[in-house]
Structure 1
Amino acid sequence: MALQALQSSGVAFRKILSHFPEELSLAFAYGSGVYRQAGPSSDQKNAVLDFVFAVDDPVAWHSENLKKNWSHYSLLKVLGPRIITAVQNNYGAGVYYNTLIACDGRLIKYGVISTSVLIEDLLNWNNLYIAGRLQKPVRRLPLNVLLFQVKIVAMNEDVALRSALDQNLKSAVTAAFLMLPESFSEEDLFTEIAGLSYSGDFRMVVGEDKAKVLNIVKPNMAHFRDLYGRILQESPQIDKSPEGQFTQLMTLPKTLQQQINHIMDPPGKNRDVEETLFQVAHDPDCGDVVRLGLAAIVRPSSIRQSTKGILTADLKYRIIGRWTPLTTRSHLCLMCFLENFVGRWTHQFKV
């Protein structure tokens, strides 16, 4: 029955994928439309299907996609693929979303990200946005179709991307170990991992279900085991000694290390990162400091990415319950204003 369901969903995903240009280095589906979530809004059958496409050449990909799917884009489409790519790369978390697209009888949303930007996020956690998505179970889509042991495998990933995907999972385990107590359950571990990319996410304050992380983890424990089983088998037992914590801190992604250094470095001291991490390793609140560092990454990227959604949404923007048309110039002006406001807001409240 499970194989039949997987093959059925695989056929549906391949059919959706056929509507888009083929030049993809990675494609995956995620969210409640793919994996069941607990909670009141868990109608998997009618949920929007979420996709992310990684592409080596975003300008060329958007150019081809505009020919195939002109209606998917907001008014930015009249400015052409170079402007779309500039918005994709220079605002938010490096991903461009087209939302609420009717495709093969389902509503879908898809994000486009440069392969190089994705690799950087996976390795360094610059935004922990798509990297955070990939720390939770996702369904890889078959670029060159292959069904192997009931798993759909994407075959176009290059070596650098595969390595970065693996390192992202290892980093997630390390960060979770640092924040967990010495004794914890399997569910505690996966809940901590699933929550990494929600640390400081303003949507968890203003919109998302506060129990979202648990709703993701509880119905999908088996999928988390599949995702992290090998890494956990290879990982040493958790070491809460200062020496063990220092070793783990030194392997964290670069941006997280820098944020921890920024939090702990007194004004005018200008200590290097290694010195700061050594201090944190001896701090009883080491896990809390790591959590603050994560929030300092996630908060601004989540706000900026949501702000960018105004620009990349369709021709109408909902304001106080009414649909108000926006011109391209209005989109851009509003985007610039909000980017400036968000930048000042996140700086003011930066951890």
Structure 2
Amino acid sequence: MQLLYLVSYHASPLGDELCLPSHNKEHHTGRKREGPAVHLPVRFGSNQEVPVTDETRKLLEKIVSRFRNVRWAVAYGSGVFGQDGYDPNAPKPMIDFIFATAYPSHFHAVNLQHNPSHYPAFARWLGSDYISKVQEWGPGIWYATMVDIDGQLIKYGVISTDALCEDMMDWSTLYVAGRMHKPVRIIRPDARVLLANQINLVSALRVALLMLPEEFTEIELWEQIAGISYAGDPRMSIPGAENPQKVKNIVRPQVDRFRGLYFKLLQEIGGVSPASGPANVSGLSGDEAVLAALGLGKSNGSGLLKQNVDTGFRAQLLRKLPRNLKKGLERVFTQRFGTKIVRPGSSPDEKGLEEKEFWKKAVAEPDLRKIMDQELQRIIKGPATTQSLKGILTAGLRKSVLYAAAKVGKWWKSKSKKA
């Protein structure tokens, strides 16, 4: 169980060195020294290696090579992986990227020299310190949109490595961590981010299982995971801001990619099996045997799965949730139960429920799913709203209007098809 040992929430001996956020404000401007390197087992995180065609891979690598001081980079969205609801005869879609850099202010200073047109005029005038300060607002990311690289339109977000890893491990905003719950193409890997994201993916599985009933289809599992980051996102409730079928459009054509991303982690967590009973894995070996044992076949995702609903098992899932979500649930249930959690090492005279008993009681609450959804909305709503509002500062008025018009067009087409 080496994998689960490494990805259990903050249980890794590497945890303090991983990417834990610095509370020193100077880390955003590039004056904080990087922590020690992380060394991972060979092939650790191979599930995150989502394949693409050679043509796409070369294009993505060529684009990223145009930028300096990028420590980690991924590409995602319909420009990389096909999604339902898109016209194959339409112009090629914009490709979305996220770049992580150790020193955002330095990244922007260099990028302003090499790619000044990627920034609105006032941002160029105010300089890299201003840009890095605005980047910190909300989820800590600066987006440049509708950027032309050799005839290919791209959008790229810049985030500090610290902020990225904090979000992946603690779900501080779920803005980038939520994006990583879906298949992405890693172009420039980084060991620390790889480990932080493995923790993030396990957290997504735990949340999805807690939100689902005892029996569910495979595709319902992937849709539950893909939909986590949209809870509370204002774009999903504003007509034209986002396609209301977005989660289904992401998942349906990518069932195999979701399997590849999660099936080994699902095996490590345990508790999921075919609803029809133990699968016959005779004659199978390796990944095929694991997939069959879990009930994940080569079908379209309609297979029925069953999960362990034992109170002790589900309480363990709750105990290992990301810090920000877990704190919210603790707050709700300590108020409801009129008690506090007595943690290991507390005084023998301290009154309250022991941690294991507290979470067993919480998992038995009939409205647990509703409360979890409310807490996810709490995490996401503020940062997502801030990011949407600051878009005009990062993209400029003209590009913001054009980008919004393109979104409305997609929404209108999806609505017309549904009608």
1:92 corresponds to = 138
1:241 corresponds to = 310
Give 1:295's match in structure 2, choosing from 373, 377, 380. 377
Give 1:51's match in structure 2, choosing from 81, 97, 122. 97
Give, in whole Å, the separation in 2 of the partners of 1:270 and 1:65.
53
Give, in whole Å, the separation in 1 of the partners of 2:358 and 2:395.
42
Give 2:328's match in structure 1, choosing from 240, 255, 259. 259
1:121 corresponds to = 167
2:85 matched to 1:16?
no
Judged with a 3 Å threshold, the aligned counterparts in structure 2 of structure 1 residues 267 and 316 are, in CA distance, closer, same or farther, namely farther
Provide structure 1 residue ranges, at least 5 long, that are not aligned to the other structure: 144-153, 324-351
Q: Give CA-to-partner distance per residue, 1:219-265, whole Å, 9 cap, x none.
A: 01111111112111222113323222211111000000122234445
Letter of the 1:254 counterpart: R
Q: Give CA-to-partner distance per residue, 1:65-100, whole Å, 9 cap, x none.
A: 1111011012222111111111112x1211100111
Judged with a 3 Å threshold, the aligned counterparts in structure 2 of structure 1 residues 280 and 267 are, in CA distance, closer, same or farther, namely closer
2:365 is paired with a residue whose SS is coil
Give, in whole Å, the separation in 2 of the partners of 1:28 and 1:20.
13
Give 2:78's match in structure 1, choosing from 32, 42, 54. 32
Q: Indicate the larger mover: 227-236 or 275-284.
A: 275-284
2:342 matched to 1:310?
no
2:154 corresponds to = 108
1:338 corresponds to = none
Give the structure with higher Rg (CA).
2
1:53 is paired with a residue whose SS is strand
1:173 corresponds to = 205
Give, in whole Å, the separation in 2 of the partners of 1:43 and 1:255.
43
Aligned-residue sequence identity (percent) comes to 38
1:80 corresponds to = 127
Judged with a 3 Å threshold, the aligned counterparts in structure 2 of structure 1 residues 66 and 283 are, in CA distance, closer, same or farther, namely same
2:248 matched to 1:214?
yes
Report if the CA contact (8 A) 1:92-1:306 is conserved: no
Q: Indicate the larger mover: 239-248 or 162-171.
A: 239-248
Give, in whole Å, the separation in 1 of the partners of 2:311 and 2:55.
50
Judged with a 3 Å threshold, the aligned counterparts in structure 2 of structure 1 residues 97 and 272 are, in CA distance, closer, same or farther, namely farther
Computed over aligned residues only, the root mean square deviation of the Cα atoms, in angstroms, reads 2.6
Report if the CA contact (8 A) 2:175-2:229 is conserved: yes
Q: Indicate the larger mover: 200-209 or 164-173.
A: 200-209
2:131 is paired with a residue whose SS is helix
Judged with a 3 Å threshold, the aligned counterparts in structure 2 of structure 1 residues 226 and 65 are, in CA distance, closer, same or farther, namely same
Judged with a 3 Å threshold, the aligned counterparts in structure 2 of structure 1 residues 43 and 260 are, in CA distance, closer, same or farther, namely farther
2:155 is paired with a residue whose SS is strand
Judged with a 3 Å threshold, the aligned counterparts in structure 2 of structure 1 residues 5 and 186 are, in CA distance, closer, same or farther, namely closer
Give, in whole Å, the separation in 2 of the partners of 1:267 and 1:182.
25
2:257 matched to 1:223?
yes
1:195 is paired with a residue whose SS is helix
Give, in whole Å, the separation in 1 of the partners of 2:100 and 2:399.
27
2:270 is paired with a residue whose SS is coil
TM-score norm. by structure 2 comes to 0.67
Q: Give CA-to-partner distance per residue, 1:265-285, whole Å, 9 cap, x none.
A: 539958459586444212122
Judged with a 3 Å threshold, the aligned counterparts in structure 2 of structure 1 residues 73 and 44 are, in CA distance, closer, same or farther, namely same
1:252 is paired with a residue whose SS is coil
Judged with a 3 Å threshold, the aligned counterparts in structure 2 of structure 1 residues 187 and 276 are, in CA distance, closer, same or farther, namely same
Q: Indicate the larger mover: 28-37 or 12-21.
A: 12-21
1:93 is paired with a residue whose SS is coil
Report if the CA contact (8 A) 1:36-1:44 is conserved: no
Provide structure 2 residue ranges, at least 5 long, that are not aligned to the other structure: 1-50, 272-306, 343-354, 406-419
2:287 corresponds to = none
Deviation at 1:287, TM superposition (A): 2.1
Give, in whole Å, the separation in 1 of the partners of 2:338 and 2:157.
41
Q: Give CA-to-partner distance per residue, 1:204-230, whole Å, 9 cap, x none.
A: 110212211011000011111111121
1:302 is paired with a residue whose SS is helix
Report if the CA contact (8 A) 2:78-2:93 is conserved: yes
